[in-house]
Amino acid sequence: MSTGPKKRFGSTLTQPVAPTPDELMFGAVSPLPATPAGGSGSSPLAAVPAPAGPTGRWVPFGSYVRDQTYLQLKQAEYWEPGFEIRQFLEDTLQAALAQLPAAQRTLPAPVLEKLLKTNRKLQPE
């Protein structure tokens, strides 16, 4: 029995066919147009590269947690109305990073530039 071709996981992250729960909850962020209105695309504005650095968009990031922690996250997701694991982890990590002085120091310019150029998660979409 063939059920058709399987979807690739990565393609669903970059090209969703339906709104994600975040888009439904917080609204979709519309990207800026590539060319100015009525422009032919050859204006100096079109040559300006996308801003480098974090934009606030979600990027996939994998890590490990103990099985009991994972079970507690799933329990909270099931029983707590509106609980979203991704947002909970973001809030928790931000609170912990705020207490870590090394996380507040900016990277040296050459290291940051290399990271922005080579890390696909930090590339503009």
- The DSSP code sequence of the chain is ----PPPPHHHHHHS-SS--HHHHHH-PPPPPPSS-TT--S-SGGGGSPPPPS--S----------HHHHHHHHHHHHHSTT--HHHHHHHHHHHHHHT-HHHHSPPPHHHHHHHHHH-GGGS--
Look at the block and give the residue holding tokens 């994998």.
62
How is the chain split into domains, by residue range?
64-125
The pLDDT score that the predictor gives to residue 33 is: 46
The pLDDT score that the predictor gives to residue 60 is: 85
Query: Residue 49's closest CA among 30, 34, 29?
Result: 34
Among 27-41, 67-81, 88-102, 104-118, the range scoring the smallest mean pLDDT is 27-41
Which residue did the predictor score with more confidence, 3 or 11? 3
The answer, yes or no, to whether residue 75 has pLDDT greater than 80, is yes
Q: What is the pTM of this model?
A: 0.52
List, as own/partner pairs, every contact residues 14-18 make where C-beta atoms lie below 8 angstroms and the sequence separation is at least 24, other chains included.
14/125
The answer, yes or no, to whether residue 57 has pLDDT greater than 60, is yes
The answer, yes or no, to whether residue 91 has pLDDT greater than 50, is yes
User: By percentage, how much of the chain surpasses pLDDT 90?
Assistant: 41
| 51 phi/psi in degrees, rounded to 5 | -60, 135
